[in-house]
Structure 1
Amino acid sequence: MLIYKIFRAEELAQFEADGETAGAPVDLADGYVHFSTAAQARETAAKHFAGEDGLSLLACETAAMGDALKWETSRGGALFPHLYRRLRRDDVLWTRPLPLVDGTHQFPQEMT
């Protein structure tokens, strides 16, 4: 199953330079890397990244994350994937831009 992480440009650049990351500031504060499923990603973008341009969407395969990936109750009682280790470059299957058009993030075809 694919899960998704949204990064701002500077977060993605640091991840690419280092080859791994503990995540964005919210991830560091919470102690795990936040992910969303395909069904949750649009709401995550609207809620946490409203009006932000220059974002990227990373797709990761859950099977490769093993026991470090936990499904925990979050927004609206839904289960969200949380990674309890650093995200590594080899966890990422692909990265796509997440452009902002007329106030709405445009998700890639792979997610439709």
Structure 2
Amino acid sequence: MTNIEHETIYRVLGSDEWAEALSAGQYDGAPHDIADGFIHFSTQDTLAATLALHYAGRDHLKLLRVPVAPISAKLKWEPARGGTLFPHLYDTLSVEYVTKVDDIRLDENGVHILPEDLR
């Protein structure tokens, strides 16, 4: 299943995880990704909910922006959260495919602050 309306997908991870990925040249996923057999990604529309559900209260996060085109052969769009299609990468993520990395911090109310162009 493909979803051509999205050119970019997003992955949230800790600063330490990103540092490890840079050192290794690839991101293998968090423990839950490895257990599921794929790396979970979000779309721009699902990003805020992903942060609230899975990263509540966590500060100093990184947001990876990854274009769909170069990884499309290993990417599947599968239903989750009430049938919404989410991008799942059935492979490791080479750091060369990450086009931008944003810092995600918490505001004074503990809500994640998304980059201006994603609000």
TM-score bucket (shorter structure)? over 0.9
Deviation at 1:29, TM superposition (A): 1.0
1:38 partner SS: coil
Number of equivalenced pairs = 112
Aligned to 2:43: 37
| Matched-pair identity in % | 40
Gaps of 5+ in 1: none
Deviation at 1:12, TM superposition (A): 0.9
Aligned to 1:77: 83
How well do the aligned residues superpose, as a CA RMSD in angstroms? 0.8
Aligned to 1:105: 112
Deviations 1:23-72 (A, max 9, x none): 11111111101000000000000000000001010000001102100000
Counterpart selection for 1:55 from 61, 77, 93:
61
CA distance in 2, matches of 1:86, 1:9: 18
Q: Normalising by the residue count of structure 2, what TM-score does the alignment of the two structures yield?
A: 0.91
Deviation at 1:91, TM superposition (A): 1.2
Runs of 4+ in 1 over 2 A off after TM superposition: none
AA partner of residue 79 (structure 1): L
AA partner of residue 104 (structure 1): V
Gaps of 5+ in 2: 1-6
- Does structure 1 residue 28 correspond to structure 2 residue 34? yes
- Does structure 1 residue 89 correspond to structure 2 residue 108? no
CA distance in 1, matches of 2:115, 2:18: 17
